[in-house]
Amino acid sequence: MEPVYEQIHNNLGLPITVYHINSWELPTLIYCNWHKELEFIYVYQGRLSLTVADKKASLKEGDIAVVNMDEIHYGEAIAPFNCEIFVFLVSIEQSLPANNAGACRSLQQLLNEELRLTPLIAPQAPRYAELLSCLMGMYTLYKEREEGFELQALSLVYELFSILFSVKNFYLVADTPISTQTQEKINRLKKVLSYIDQNYGQKIYTKELADLLYMGEDNFYKFFLSLTGVSPSKYILSYRMKKAAKLLAATDLPVTEVCYRVGFNTVSYFIKMFREQFGCTPKKYRSIQQNTET
């Protein structure tokens, strides 16, 4: 089973997925993950602490962070500021044109990781206003999904890449491999996250995660916290909540069945934890999400 964070995020068949997130609803804005899409994070309000691999950056209002493919990352609001962000996931694989060799060559350089995008786009960057307009156009398109939105989505993706490649020496840089030690840490973390993905429906003990890496529990706890920003138990809880939210939005399974499928034994505790994470009951969440889709 392929880890969920290495799969394409959306189920609409689009090359883009868009999220609008704020810290007063979700205190941890971006839980530790990695994926095959490029990710653009626009800080609309407040300040965001973003960690990519082993590098931490502080982003302010107006900044656009870029997370390249397969980079482990997580982000949270910087107190005392509330933070509101827009997250745009762009799949290069789904964007490759079938009959345009020139465009294919350019995008293939990104796909092969011969080139990488610069990690930060500030408001002073060249063609920033056009980039932001393109990204927010994706948000409007993804939210409203009017007739023909599939073609419009692809058009916006090409517009985005055309801007990035037009200032190639600014936005695109030759790939610089990270240190062997850092890569080893990331590979070990991915092993643990993949295990959680495959076993979240049953009880997971910290010791069994530590055993995967031949580490003691205390050392493993520090290792996991240093790379993800949260404890193993908090990560697992959040992961189960996200799985539950997906089931509630996409199926008509009873709340009790959802509870058991994502690894909870007590429905009342599941509802309590869900309310803390999403600010409403599972039943209310389903109602909101399914009405949004219609």
pLDDT digits over 162-217, tens only?
A: 999 998 789 988 766 667 778 888 899 999 999 999 999 999 999 999 999 999 99
Residue 121 and residue 67 in contact, taking contact as beta carbons nearer than 8 Å: no
pLDDT at 289: 83
**pLDDT at position 248 over 80:** yes
174 compared with 102, residue with greater pLDDT: 174
Q: Give the integer Cα–Cα distance in Å for 201 and 183.
A: 29
pLDDT at 1: 29
User: 16-22 and 55-59: which strand pairing?
Assistant: unpaired
Q: If residue 251 lies in a helix (H) or strand (E), which one and from where to where?
A: none
Structural domains in the chain plus CATH codes:
4-174 (2.60.120.280), 180-293 (1.10.10.60)
Q: Does residue 282 have a cis bond before it (omega within 30 degrees)? A: no
Q: Which two tokens stand for residue 62?
A: 């107006």
Tens-digit pLDDT profile for residues 250-284: 899 999 999 999 999 999 999 999 998 888 999 99
Among 171-180, 217-226, 239-248, the range scoring the smallest mean pLDDT is 171-180
pLDDT at 157: 94
The amino acid that residue 92 corresponds to is: I
Q: Looking at the chain, how many residues does it have? A: 294
Residue 29 and residue 77 in contact, taking contact as beta carbons nearer than 8 Å: yes
Q: Give the integer Cα–Cα distance in Å for 73 and 53.
A: 6
Residue 209 and residue 219 in contact, taking contact as beta carbons nearer than 8 Å: no
Q: Which two tokens stand for residue 41?
A: 């994070």
Burial of 144 (0-12, 13-18, 19+ CB in 10 A): exposed
106 compared with 87, residue with greater pLDDT: 87
Q: Give the integer Cα–Cα distance in Å for 282 and 49.
A: 29
For 14, 105, 246, the CA distances from 149, given in Å and listed in that order, are 9, 26, 23
Category of 5 on φ-ψ map: left (φ > 0), alpha (ψ -120 to 50) or beta: alpha
